[in-house]
Amino acid sequence: MFINDVEQCQWIRQKFETPGIMKFTNEEKRTLLARLVRSMRFEDFLARKWSSEKRFGLEGCEVMIPALKTIIDKSSEMGIEYVIMGMPHRGRLNVLANVIRKELEQIFCQFDPKLEAADEGSGDVKYHLGMYHERINRTTNKKITLSLMANPSHLEAVDPVVQGKTKAEQFYRGDTAGKKVMSILLHGDAAFAGQGVVYETFHLSDLPSYTTNGTIHVVVNNQIGFTTDPRMARSSPYPTDVARVVNAPIFHVNADDPEAVMYVCNVAAEWRNTFNKDVVVDLVCYRRRGHNEMDEPMFTQPLMYKQIHKQVPVLKKYADKLIADGTVTLQEFEEEIAKYDRICEEAYTRSKDNKILHIKHWLDSPWPGFFNVDGEPKSMSCPPTGISEDLLTHIGNVASSVPVKDFKIHSGLSRILKARLEMTKNRVVDWALAEYMAFGSVLKEGIHVRLSGQDVERGTFSHRHHVLHDQEVDKRTCVPMNHLWEQQAPYTVCNSSLSEYGVLGFELGFAMASPNALVCWEAQFGDFHNTAQCIIDQFISSGQAKWVRHNGIVLLLPHGMEGMGPEHSSARPERFLQMSNDDSDAYPEFSEQFEVSQLYECNWIVVNCSTPANYFHVLRRQILLPFRKPLIVLTPKSLLRHPEAKSSFDEMVTGTTFQRVIPENGPAAQAPHEVKRVIFCTGKVYYDLVKERKNQDLEKQVAITRLEQISPFPFDLLKEELEKYPSADLVWCQEEHKNSGYYDYVKPRFRTIVNRTRPIWYVGREPAAAAATGNKNMHLVSLRRFLDTAFNLEAFEGKTF
Ligand SMILES: Cc1ncc(C[n+]2csc(CCOP(=O)(O)OP(=O)(O)O)c2C)c(N)n1
Ligand SMILES: [Mg+2]
């Protein structure tokens, strides 16, 4: 890499070019040997006891354990108190045992097929689980906290999650320069060079609201192998070059030379803790076995593996050297081995008593005080989400002002702020102001709010303007949200780099650190979230089921068919709904706390609010709930400025709350027996339907009921609605194409409520391959067509279902 800082170049030169600089005391060499003994004998022990189980052993790179321990020792010496780690499968159990120091019996018992899970959820394989541990670092005698993040199989996906959590831990400690909290990321060589999220994650390291002030990366590089013969230079079928990936110094070191590894790791830790920049340690090694222990590498790399099998293990080589130069005796070495083998045997015996697995013991982020002692929510209710009129007015006034002196804003923005003031006086809000009030009110309650994504400070649709820019002083900015009260939690609003995978992973990690934060990620358009699909599938949808940890991240996904083309129209609600875990066919029992218990059971919440007030409430509910669930919000575009899409303070004041369903409340609701049709819908199409109903003078015949929380499905409220209109047609109307949107999700659930006695007719666009047309005219024609059907009261006559 190119370093354009003379001081840093000199620093590196001095560390590597000073003759004789690599010196260790006998004590240090003995510690290194003992660490190698543990690393090697741990793998041997597992191989002996469970010869046919996958464990993704370290054989060939046993030096990784002393390498990590050296990095942690040095960092602890330089002031680090908390290390957050992310890593793939290779050597993970060894890291848990010998770096994090998870009790060995807890690891061994995981190999028992009869082990029963005590927690809810589906669990995960042993080499994916996380860990959190506070201990005393034996070298420095200082307290150190180590956390290894749970991860999916998807290589490198955990990287941005680790960085987000690290950033959060730094933020909550006021550790702005990263002097106390640090992350370490481990990589395989193929994954490091092959997965774009590695690059996306590196790219975050220079952005102020995303930097973790330097990360130490360790690559287990078993590609290059021990041979210089290029025909045999790869022990894996994925040709890559580690050096091409990053803009950070890379220290390549021979993994067969433990002292060189120890030296380089010390330098890397010093580098990170001196310059607060990323650094890569490339452990160039070989892999003694196949990809996992069941693989036969001789199938595909016969000559190379013949050579590998001739290699003397690093432990033996290093022990021979220390014995030869008199640093240890053979007897001391053998005793060290016998001692560790005994520790493993004893733990193995104890592990047999463990018949129950508590995934809760494998949490990477404890949330002290949030749950009760049994890890359950402290209540099963949610307080109403409305707030006092005074608060609404105060927040509205600050949102309309420039709270610092001599600050000149753009005249266009002055108009926007004036309009906000006017709304506040008139006791109404639009979308942007409702969001302001939700964020502002939770800040008052000590909840940190973080909003991240591309161009979120201004808002993609230029509606938000949370950061004001002085028109006369370069780079002078002001965030009025941080001027609401003297005592308030901080508000972070930050434009991200152009990344979805990396940034969404980062925010998810941020949200993991504490339940007392409202962490929101906004996509530029909802369509783009699919570049972050792995984070959505592997962490957000299924994270709690696999790893127990709740997460309250909010995804704001601009969505709506407005003739803006196939990639600016759809947040693909159908995909979120398809992954929702509520049962379409089970008729639920309606208890008093149905709303909250349903939320507690679900894997995430999907909403599409039709009013600013409801958006305000759902954001506040997210924090007032006694547990955390991811919240997916389909957010509007044209409704941001729609004259009808406004809410009165009356819908937000104390006593009001989030409405999962907004029932028809016009003339049709006054005489429900005369209603011919009930149209159920969600989101923006409501406004088109209401307008059309008025035009056709059908306000008595057609009721329109809005579904605001789509999943979990509000069976209870919809049942009431359905029973109210016994002789009406039931219609689901959506603007999305039939194979997208909500229809496939809502249809079987409506049918469950009516016990399959009445049909729920579909009105909307035909099925289509692309999410929307790129032709405005075609868009309008299809809109006209489905609105006609929606109000044609004979449309379904005689049709069977
Ligand atoms: C995103 C993703 N793609 C593919 C895989 C399947 N896979 C598992 S391990 C592996 C090879 C990894 O090689 P490397 O990163 O060098 O690690 P090593 O096993 O050599 O330590 C692959 C392709 C995966 N787990 N994740
Ligand atoms: Mg590899």
Which ligand number lies closest to the CA of residue 195?
1
pLDDT at 359: 67
pLDDT at 10: 94
CA dist list (Å): 405 to 415, 420, 471: 19, 20, 13
Break the chain into its structural domains and give their ranges.
Answer: 6-111+125-362, 389-559+608-651, 664-791
Q: Which mutation among 291, 292, 294, 539 tests ligand 1's pocket best, with the greatest number of atoms within 8 A of CB? A: 291
Residue 329 predicted with pLDDT over 70: yes
pLDDT 10s digits, 504-559: 999 999 999 999 999 999 999 999 999 999 999 999 999 999 988 899 999 999 99
What is the architecture of the domain spanning 664-791? 3-Layer(aba) Sandwich (3.40)
pLDDT at 623: 97
CA dist list (Å): 305 to 6, 34, 232, 314, 483: 44, 28, 9, 17, 65
Distance CA 188, CA 297 (A): 17
pLDDT at 240: 62
Kindly state the greatest CA–CA separation across the chain: 100
Residue of the CA atom closest to atom 19 of ligand 1: 291
Mean pLDDT of 224-250: 60
CATH code linked to domain 6-111+125-362: 3.40.50.970
Interval between CA 133 and ligand 1 midpoint (Å): 27
Which of 162, 237, 240 lies closest to 194 in space, CA to CA?
240
Interval between CA 292 and ligand 2 midpoint (Å): 11
Mean pLDDT of 627-640: 96
Handedness of CA 121, 125, 128, 133 (dihedral sign): positive
Integer-rounded Cα radius of gyration of the chain = 30
Interval between CA 189 and ligand 2 midpoint (Å): 5
pLDDT at 352: 85
Which ligand number lies closest to the CA of residue 190?
1
DSSP state letters, 13-68? HHHHHSTT-----HHHHHHHHHHHHHHHHHHHHHHHH-TTS-----TT-TTHHHHH
Ligand 1 atom nearest residue 195's Cα: 1
Residue 123 predicted with pLDDT over 80: no
pLDDT at 227: 45
Write down the mean pLDDT value for the chain.
93
Structure tokens at 200: 């996306």
pLDDT at 229: 45
DSSP state letters, 126-187? GGG--EEEEEE-TTT--EEEEEE----SSTTTHHHHHHHHHHHHHHHHT-TT-SSEEEEEEE
pTM for this entry:
0.96
Interval between CA 727 and ligand 2 midpoint (Å): 66
Structure tokens at 617: 């409430």
pLDDT 10s digits, 680-706: 999 999 999 999 999 999 999 999 999
Where is pLDDT greater, at 294 or 710?
A: 710
Strand ranges across the sheet with 702-707? 661-662, 702-707, 677-681, 729-737, 761-765
Mean pLDDT of 378-388: 94
Distance CA 701, CA 301 (A): 75
Residue of the CA atom closest to atom 13 of ligand 1: 190
Residues at CB less than 6 angstroms from ligand 1: 90, 153-155, 188-191, 195, 220, 222, 236, 238, 291
CB distance 67 to 262 below 8 Å? yes
pLDDT at 302: 83
pLDDT 10s digits, 334-382: 999 999 999 999 999 998 887 766 766 778 888 989 999 888 899 999 9
- Give the contacts of 750 (CB within 8 A, at least 6 positions apart): 680, 718, 722, 730, 732, 760
pLDDT 10s digits, 744-763: 999 999 999 999 999 999 99
pLDDT 10s digits, 265-274: 999 999 999 9
Is residue 215 exposed (0-12), middle (13-18) or buried (19+ Cβ within 10 Å)?
buried
Q: Which range is least confidently modeled, 154-168, 226-240, 341-355, 483-497? A: 226-240
Between the two ends of the chain, the Cα-to-Cα distance in Å is: 66
Ligand 1 atom nearest residue 287's Cα: 20
Ligand 1 atom nearest residue 236's Cα: 20
Residue of the CA atom closest to atom 2 of ligand 1: 154
CA dist list (Å): 309 to 48, 59, 289, 314, 399: 18, 11, 9, 13, 69
Distance CA 245, CA 185 (A): 15
pLDDT band of 228, cuts 50, 70, 90: very low
Which CATH number fits the domain 389-559+608-651, given the four candidates 3.30.110.70, 3.50.50.60, 3.40.50.12470, 3.30.230.10?
Answer: 3.40.50.12470
CB distance 273 to 79 below 8 Å? yes
389-559+608-651 matches 664-791 in fold:
yes
Interval between CA 532 and ligand 2 midpoint (Å): 25
Ligand 1 atom nearest residue 194's Cα: 15
Interval between CA 190 and ligand 2 midpoint (Å): 5
Is residue 7 exposed (0-12), middle (13-18) or buried (19+ Cβ within 10 Å)?
exposed
Residue 330 predicted with pLDDT over 90: yes
Which of 203, 749, 733 lies closest to 496 in space, CA to CA?
203
Interval between CA 128 and ligand 2 midpoint (Å): 18
Ligand 1 atom nearest residue 192's Cα: 15
Distance CA 704, CA 494 (A): 39
pLDDT at 353: 81
Which ligand number lies closest to the CA of residue 223?
2
Quote the DSSP letter at residue 653: B
pLDDT band of 231, cuts 50, 70, 90: very low
Interval between CA 221 and ligand 2 midpoint (Å): 5
Cα angle 175, 136, 150 (rounded to 5 degrees) comes to: 65
Ligand 1 atom nearest residue 223's Cα: 16
Backbone angles phi, psi at 489, to 5 degrees: -75, 155
pLDDT at 712: 98
Residue of the CA atom closest to atom 15 of ligand 1: 188
Q: Which mutation among 89, 125, 155 tests ligand 1's pocket best, with the greatest number of atoms within 8 A of CB? A: 155
Interval between CA 310 and ligand 1 midpoint (Å): 26
